[in-house]
Structure formats: structure tokens, C-alpha cells
Homo-oligomer: A and B are copies of this chain.
């Protein structure tokens, strides 16, 4: 589970488990989709008003490094984070009108990405794929 993963990561690097990190982790895990640092900060602040915004930024980056969060960018200049389940990778479709987001995954595409990478001499590590379109509600 993610809490265990964090504790292990921290102790392996001489890093410390603080109340702030615990709280941010808990809030982050209970958050379904993709959260920006600021959104998370608002929620966290409601439960611990003393917490600083910089700490949220720092902690989300830490979660990324620890492998329990993944940074997602949709191109609006804001970084969002979502839970990283290696069993459950997915990509995104975004509606350009209402910004609704849908997650999907397509193993065939993943295979083809792997093949393309190999074909060009790369060892594939990760990828970002975002589709932009118009959703059924906005098509009118």
C-alpha cells in the first residue's frame, strides 16, 4: 500500500516522516483524479491551517520520486498529480470546451509505443499521451 511505500522510501534515504507528509499523503490518496498542488493545498489547509504551500509542492515532488504519484501536464501550465498504480496505467482525453476528462488505456497502443521506441534505439521509460477533442455533451 502507498503508505508503506512512502515509509520505506523515506527510511531508505534518511528522510523523515512528518505529520505534514502524513496528512498530505492521506488527502492525496483520498483524492480520486488529478490534483494540482494548489487544489491539494486548499484541502490540506482546511485540516491544518498552519501548513505551508511550499511544503505541499515539495511533498508532491517527493511522492513522485518515491513512485507513488505521477505528474501529469495537460498544457495549461499547471502540474497535476495522480496516484501511480503500475498495474493501472492510463492516458487522458480532454474536452476542449468543458475540460471534462476521461481516462482510458489501450494495451495495443502501449505495445506500439514500445516498438517505436525500440525501432529508434531507445529504451522506453514512460510516455505522455493526451487526446484533445469535443465531448458528446458539448457537440450540440
Contact = CB atoms under 8 A, between A and B. Distances in A.
A121 interface: yes
Interface in A70-92: 73, 75
A110 to B, nearest CB: 10
Copy number in the complex reads 2
B133 A124 contact: yes
29 contacts: A73-B73, A75-B128, A93-B117, A93-B120, A96-B125, A102-B120, A104-B116, A104-B119, A113-B129, A113-B131, A116-B131, A117-B133, A120-B135, A121-B136, A122-B134, A122-B136, A123-B133, A123-B134, A124-B132, A125-B132, A125-B134, A126-B131, A126-B132, A127-B130, A127-B131, A128-B128, A128-B129, A128-B132, A129-B129
